[in-house]
């Protein structure tokens, strides 16, 4: 059942890489935006909130298309990035990671924001009286106390990235070895005769990865919680 061709294994490896890279790369920005939304009152907050959540409600194909017309090679921003920084997203695995990151971002921000809002601000006040500057206060009190939420946010983002299809295939297409993730590979296999058994193999792999990720995050969250509640 798991006799996959090298090309299919490549898709599995690529999927893992894309999901991992998109999650890790989105994390700092996700924490920053979550903190901003949880703690600051400012003009345009509703707009930021809306923009962050947009990928959740837009059809993924639309998100992918928007990425294509802004970051594609011939699009203004994409051309600028390629010319001045040598950064190219379109039809590269990095583009797949970007698309996944964008799609997963609202879930990540939401989980982290909720956990930051749940942090007892009186503990932050206590830290301030003990000499913690705002940055240290965040690093030593807020973030550790919000850690279960951060873990949950990363998990959701990873899962979302692993399952991403529409935005990725629209933005970076379905190139074996470069942008063909598990989802795209399964889709391709279902389009050809005799692709069924290979598709099933990939489905099993996807299932195993998802289950492992879920269990890992549950374990991490439990550990983080135990640390917080002082045993």
Partner 1 sequence: MLSVEIEKRLGDFVLQAAFETASGATALFGPSGAGKTSLANAIAGLLTPDRGRIRLAGETLFDSQAGIDMPAWRRRIGYVFQEGRLFPHLSVRHNLNYGRWMNGLAADAKTFTRVVELLDLGRLLDRRPGNLSGGERQRVAVGRALLMQPRLLLLDEPLASLDAARKADIFPYLERLRDEARVPIVYVSHDVAEVRRMATQIIVMDQGRIVNQGGLELLARQSANRAGTVLDDPERL
Number of C-beta neighbours around residue 159 at 10 A: 19
Residue number, 80 or 136, with CB nearest to partner 1: 136
Crossing angle of helices 6-39 and 93-117, in 10° steps, is: 40
Residue number, 120 or 196, with CB nearest to partner 1: 120
Q: Among residues 24, 25, 132, 221, which is the contact residue for partner 1, using CB under 8 A? A: 132
Residue number, 84 or 122, with CB nearest to partner 1: 122
Q: Which residues inside 91-130 make contact with partner 1, applying CB under 8 A?
A: 122-123, 125-130
CA max distance for the chain? 69
Least distance in Å: CB of 132 to partner 1? 5
Conformational region of residue 180, where left means phi above 0, alpha means psi within -120 to 50, and beta covers everything else: beta
Q: How many CA atoms lie less than 13 Å away from 224 in the CB half-sphere? A: 17
Least distance in Å: CB of 209 to partner 1? 31
Residue number, 136 or 219, with CB nearest to partner 1: 136
| Cα 151 from Cα 211, distance rounded (Å) | 16
Does 231 sit near partner 1 (CB under 8 A)? yes
Rule CB under 8 A: which residues touch partner 1? Answer: 122-123, 125-134, 136-137, 140-141, 144-145, 227-231
């Amino acid at each position: 059942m798991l006799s996959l061709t090298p090309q299919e294994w490549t898709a599995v490896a690529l999927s893992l890489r894309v999901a991992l890279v998109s999650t890790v790369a989105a994390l700092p920005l996700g924490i920053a935006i979550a903190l901003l939304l949880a703690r600051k009152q400012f003009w345009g907050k509703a707009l930021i909130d809306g923009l962050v959540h947009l990928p959740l409600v837009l059809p993924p194909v639309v998100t992918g298309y928007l990425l294509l017309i802004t970051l594609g090679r011939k699009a203004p921003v994409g051309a600028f990035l390629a010319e001045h920084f040598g950064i190219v997203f379109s039809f590269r695995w990095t583009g797949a990671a970007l698309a996944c990151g964008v799609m997963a971002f609202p879930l990540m921000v939401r989980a982290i924001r909720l956990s930051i809002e749940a942090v007892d601000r009186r503990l932050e006040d206590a830290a301030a009286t003990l000499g913690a500057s705002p940055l240290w206060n965040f690093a030593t009190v807020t973030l550790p106390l919000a850690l279960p939420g951060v873990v949950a946010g990363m998990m959701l983002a990873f899962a979302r990235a692993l399952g991403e299809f529409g935005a990725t295939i629209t933005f970076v297409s379905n190139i074996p070895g470069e942008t063909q993730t598990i989802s795209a590979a399964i889709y391709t296999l279902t389009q050809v005769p005799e692709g069924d058994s290979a598709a099933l193999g990939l489905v099993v792999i996807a299932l195993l990865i998802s289950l492992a990720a879920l269990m890992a995050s549950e374990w991490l969250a439990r550990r983080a919680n135990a640390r917080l509640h002082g045993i």
